[in-house]
């Protein structure tokens, strides 16, 4: 049983100069064999492991991470959580995820600081108005909260926004239950819980190949030795194509850098998350006071976790037009992550040509919000050998059948 995180343990440990906290998770040597091996120690991989233990009773599990936990996109994203997508299949899985986010802090005894502060999608032209109109109705039909705001209502909620400037605001779609969550807390909290269930979280261990016999996966080859397993779940985000290549097949996705940046910390000025698909920018304020800013992915395929400077200019120019005060701020940090993008902007959760090997990827620029829903559905799929109903529409076969789930508009500004 792990040490509880609460006011009493905090006070007790403060008296001991914080020297005696238990390690949140062990760093074990890999065993020779597991029932399930998860490749990728990001949020989706850890959530998959957690729900495998919680709902499917499978705890002989290893999560194998080539770097450090959450060092991929999980620790690099801008933490936006929402479920107001357009297509029924997307609404179902993203809404499941938001519902799980609402309870996860109690569930795993770890505060992920889920803040349902409200999220606005701005409309600047007729096309935007039509898009949010359609999406809001789709949300209502799927039981997801959505409200339309007039320009004046936007101004009342967000006093610092310029609604009559270069990018006039004609209205907005508001999801009040949308907001942000602390991204690395999600990874750490899930890892701690997986460890408590006896699972092995193995960092600094790269998967370099697979043992495949007669089309069935039998094990993974890693930088720390070979591991036998009955099932493999690959959740490697931007590096999914590289891992698929090791197993001998190609995935219908491309990898791009996606950047974000934060300003110097200032007093609270922005209470919600505000996004604009048309000028391709979004803004929120972290609990530390930094403005968190982002935009779309870079234009060129790359595995460099940096991104190009012209993309930053494309973030800042419209942002200064929408929020003129931002031009007075210094930007503190910029970073990038490698996002895995499909051509219908929907994820891939699928069986593969290799038996007992499953892939969960293609979440692209907006998968943080899906971490829990994806882990929930993928865990059931791995356990049962058949895709869970929430995951089934996102199979790879849709790129052959043509049953695409086009989220180009709702996912247009990353996230
Ligand atoms: C700048 C930026 C901003 C974003 N903002 C948002 C947002 O606001 N809201 C939102 O919903 N989404 C956002 N996203 C997208 C979101 O971060 C991702 O979709 C999500 O975090 C993916 O989680 P994951 O667990 O699948 O991937 P990751 O966290 O990337 O985990 C995959 C892991 O696999 C590991 N790995 C890869 N290859 C191997 C190997 N061979 N062996 C072992 N391990 C391997 C990697 O090291 C990595 O840690 C953003 C992304 C970026 C980059």
369 CA to middle of ligand 1, Å?
A: 11
45 CA to middle of ligand 1, Å?
A: 10
Residue nearest to atom 13 of ligand 1 (CA): 366
Low-confidence ranges of the chain (pLDDT < 70): 412-415
Query: What pLDDT is attached to residue 93?
Result: 98
> What region does 103 belong to: left with phi over 0, alpha with psi -120 to 50, or beta?
alpha
Residue 55: partners with Cβ closer than 8 Å, 6 or more residues away: 376, 379, 380, 383
Structural tokens at position 311:
């993309």
Q: Which of 237, 293, 294, 297 best tests ligand 1's pocket when mutated (most atoms within 8 Å of CB)?
A: 237
Nearest atom of ligand 1 to the alpha carbon of 183: 21
Task: Tell me if 290 sits within 8 A of 262, measured CB to CB.
Answer: yes
Query: What pLDDT is attached to residue 6?
Result: 87
Instruction: Please tell me if the CB atom of residue 210 comes closer than 6 angstroms to any atom of ligand 1.
Output: no
Beta strands in 242-344 (DSSP E): 254-263, 273-276, 281-285, 291-297, 331-341
77 CA to middle of ligand 1, Å?
A: 8
Interhelix angle 371-384/43-56, rounded to 10 degrees, is 50
348 CA to middle of ligand 1, Å?
A: 14
Whole-number Å distance between alpha carbons of 170 and 128: 9
Task: Tell me if 176 sits within 8 A of 116, measured CB to CB.
Answer: yes
99 CA to middle of ligand 1, Å?
A: 21
83 CA to middle of ligand 1, Å?
A: 18
Nearest atom of ligand 1 to the alpha carbon of 370: 11
Instruction: Please tell me if the CB atom of residue 339 comes closer than 6 angstroms to any atom of ligand 1.
Output: yes
Q: Which of 38, 245, 367 best tests ligand 1's pocket when mutated (most atoms within 8 Å of CB)?
A: 367
Nearest atom of ligand 1 to the alpha carbon of 365: 15
361 sits in which H/E element = strand 357-361
Q: State whether residue 129 is helix, strand or coil.
A: helix
Instruction: Please tell me if the CB atom of residue 41 comes closer than 6 angstroms to any atom of ligand 1.
Output: yes
Segment 185-210, tens digit of pLDDT: 999 999 999 999 999 999 999 999 99
Q: Which residues of 171-202 are buried (b: 16+ CB within 10 A; e: fewer)?
A: bbbbbebbbbbbbbbbbbbbbbbbbbeebbbb
Q: Which residue has the tokens 């006011």?
A: 7
């Amino acid at each position: 049983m792990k040490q509880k995180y609460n006011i009493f343990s905090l006070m007790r440990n403060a008296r001991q100069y914080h020297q005696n906290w238990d390690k949140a998770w062990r760093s074990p040597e890999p065993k020779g064999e597991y029932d399930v091996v998860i490749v990728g120690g990001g949020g989706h991989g850890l959530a998959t492991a957690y729900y495998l233990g919680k709902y499917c009773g499978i705890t002989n599990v290893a999560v194998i991470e080539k770097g450090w936990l959450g060092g991929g996109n999980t620790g690099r994203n801008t933490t936006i959580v929402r479920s107001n997508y357009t297509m029924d299949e997307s609404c179902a899985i993203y809404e499941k995820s938001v519902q799980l986010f609402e309870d996860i802090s109690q569930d795993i005894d770890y505060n992920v600081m889920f803040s349902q502060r409200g999220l606005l999608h701005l409309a600047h032209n007729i096309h935007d108005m039509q898009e949010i109109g359609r999406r809001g109705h789709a949300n209502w039909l799927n039981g997801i909260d959505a409200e339309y705001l007039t320009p004046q209502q936007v101004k009342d909620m967000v006093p610092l926004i310029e609604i009559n400037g270069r990018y006039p605001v004609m209205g907005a779609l508001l999801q009040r239950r949308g907001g942000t969550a602390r991204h690395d807390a999600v990874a750490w909290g899930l890892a701690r819980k997986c460890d408590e269930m006896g699972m092995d979280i193995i960092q600094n261990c790269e998967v370099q190949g697979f043992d495949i016999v007669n089309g069935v996966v039998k094990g993974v080859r890693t930088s720390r030795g070979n591991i036998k397993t009955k099932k493999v779940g690959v959740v490697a985000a931007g590096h999914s194509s590289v891992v698929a290549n090791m197993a001998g097949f190609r995935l219908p996705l491309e990898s791009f850098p996606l950047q974000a940046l934060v300003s110097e910390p200032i007093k609270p000025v922005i209470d919600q998350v505000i996004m604009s698909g048309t000028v391709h920018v979004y803004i929120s304020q972290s609990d530390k006071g930094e403005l968190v800013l982002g935009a779309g992915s870079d234009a060129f395929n790359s595995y460099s976790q940096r991104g190009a400077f012209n993309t930053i200019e494309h973030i800042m120019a419209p942002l200064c037009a929408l929020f003129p005060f931002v031009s007075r701020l210094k930007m503190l940090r910029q970073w990038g992550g490698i996002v895995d993008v499909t051509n219908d902007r929907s994820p891939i959760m699928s069986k593969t040509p290799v038996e007992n090997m499953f892939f969960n990827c293609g979440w692209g620029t907006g998968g943080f919000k899906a971490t829990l829903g994806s882990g929930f559905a993928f865990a059931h799929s791995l356990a049962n050998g058949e895709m869970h109903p929430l995951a089934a529409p996102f199979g790879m076969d849709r790129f052959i059948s043509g049953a695409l789930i086009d989220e180009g508009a709702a996912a247009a500004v990353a996230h």
